[in-house]
Amino acid sequence: KAGVTQTPRYLIKTRGQQVTLSCSPISGHRSVSWYQQTPGQGLQFLFEYFSETQRNKGNFPGRFSGRQFSNSRSEMNVSTLELGDSALYLCASSPTDNTEAFFGQGTRLTVV
């Protein structure tokens, strides 16, 4: 069974630009969550999608958005990038609620 796949693995963007990250969950998993990981803050929850609906949302500005498609693949978008958005963005999928989360390897975003 293929794991959670995130693309791209690395990205360098300029301030003010926008970026789209992609996550393909494990087949059959309907819940997809996104996290931002920085050295000082650990794993910060961005949002969770379940069956194409945003079910939970963290405390991030509206520049951060996401969506989930009918095949459970998910994208997150960050507009008007700021230097502080530089981080490792992790996607995790779960088969059902309150069970193990399977993480992708992440997308390392650097904003210059």
Partner 1 sequence: GENVEQHPSTLSVQEGDSAVIKCTYSDSASNYFPWYKQELGKGSQLIIDIRSNVGEKKDQRIAVTLNKTAKHFSLHITETQPEDSAVYFCAASKGGSYIPTFGRGTSLIVHP
Question: In whole angstroms, what is the distance from residue 1 CA to residue 80 CA?
Answer: 37
CB of 63 vs partner 1, minimal distance in Å:
20
Buried-exposed string 57-93: b where 16+ CB fall within 10 A, e elsewhere: eeebeeebbbebeeebebbbebeebeeebbbebbbbb
Name the token pair of 100: 């193990």
CB of 68 vs partner 1, minimal distance in Å:
14
CB of 5 vs partner 1, minimal distance in Å:
10
For partner 1, give the closer residue by CB, 10 or 70.
Answer: 10
For partner 1, give the closer residue by CB, 3 or 16.
Answer: 3
Strand partners, 49: 32, 54
For partner 1, give the closer residue by CB, 79 or 102.
Answer: 102
Contact residues: partner 1, CB under 8 A = 3-4, 33, 35, 41-43, 45, 48, 50, 55-56, 90, 92, 97-106
Around Cβ 30, how many Cβ atoms within 10 Å? 16
For partner 1, give the closer residue by CB, 34 or 78.
Answer: 34
Question: In whole angstroms, what is the distance from residue 19 CA to residue 14 CA?
Answer: 10
CB of 105 vs partner 1, minimal distance in Å:
4
